[in-house]
Structure formats: structure tokens, C-alpha cells
Amino acid sequence: MKTLQANAGVLTNLEVLEFLRARGATSDPMGCLGAVAPSECKVFDHLVNTGACNQTRGAIDEFLKRCEKFKLAKAEKLNIINLRPSNQALIDPIIEYCEKRLTKDEARGIDEVQELVDLVLEVLPPPPAKPDEEMQALEETPTEKLMEEN
């Protein structure tokens, strides 16, 4: 076995999810026995519970276009798309040297971190609601935006 290219491209969680779905994976554990291996089923189950489940390529393209002004690294954009942080505290560990790169000036009313958070909340759909937890604001705008795009 020879590795020709260790890194031939990164994939977002959405792309892996779509790939497995196209192969025939479903959430039903018995349904996907013939088409996909049990290990692939486990990956599918994990991804279906994250924010990737409701995303579309259009939403990701729009997010990438609109976050150009923040000058984020490719890895940071990928992390944000996969994780979908919903407030400033959650975005902070993703971006290196956050305080230096994204200005926060209350006197002039500029808060780039909050702008980035608002962009994430607006463009990327939230993860599916967990049945036994009370998650606030899950039924809000992002699903309407998705309907517009479709």
C-alpha cells in the first residue's frame, strides 16, 4: 500500500453525510444493512445529530461568501460550518487570536465577533432538537431561509 497524497482535500460534515446518504444509509439501523457497513452507519448516526443534518450546499456557499470580510483561515471556516457555534463564547476557541483579529470597539459600535455569530445563526440551520432537552429558539428563521433557497 502506498500513500500517494495524504491530504487530497477536506470534506465538510455535510459532504460526508450526503455521500453516506447517497450510498443508502438511513437512521433506521435495520434498513441500511445491505448497502452500508455497520461502521459507516455509526458515522451516519453521529452526523445526523449534528448541525450538518439540515444544511444545504447553498447555505454553505452563502456563508463562505459572506464571511470573506472577516478573513478567516480555511480551517476556521470549516470548523465553524461543522460546529455551528451559536454564541460568542463558543466561537472564541475556534478563531486563533480572536481579540486581535476581530475588532470589538464598543465606543464606535463595532463588534465583529457578534457579527460573525449573527451570520452563523442566520445562514446555517441549527442542529435537530434533542427530544428530552429544552433547546430554545430552534424553530426560528433558519428553516424559513432554507425554504426560500429550495
Partner 1 sequence: MFCLSLIEHNLPLPPHLLNRPLLDAIKEELERLFLDKVISNLGLCISIYDIRTIEGGFVFPGDGSSTYKVVFRLIMFRPYVGEILCGKLKASDANGLHLSLGFFDDIKVPVHLLPLKSRMGEDGIWIWEHECGDLPMDLDEEVHFRVTKINYPPIPVEQDANANPFSPMEIIGEIYGDGLGLLSWWAD
By the criterion CB under 8 A, which residues form the site for partner 1?
1-13, 15-16, 19-20, 23, 37, 39-40, 42-43, 45-46, 50, 75, 79, 82-83, 85-87, 89-94, 96, 136
Q: Decide whether 89 or 129 has the Cβ nearer to partner 1.
A: 89
Whole-angstrom distance, CA of residue 81 vs CA of residue 64: 9
- Whether residue 123 contacts residue 62, with contact meaning beta carbons closer than 8 Å, is answered with yes
DSSP 105-144: ETTTTEEHHHHHHHHHHHHSPPPPPPTTS--TT-SSTHHH
Q: At what angle do helices 74-83 and 13-23 cross, to 10 degrees?
A: 60
Give least dist CB 65 to partner 1, A.
Answer: 23
Q: Decide whether 46 or 104 has the Cβ nearer to partner 1.
A: 46
Give least dist CB 4 to partner 1, A.
Answer: 4
Give least dist CB 5 to partner 1, A.
Answer: 4
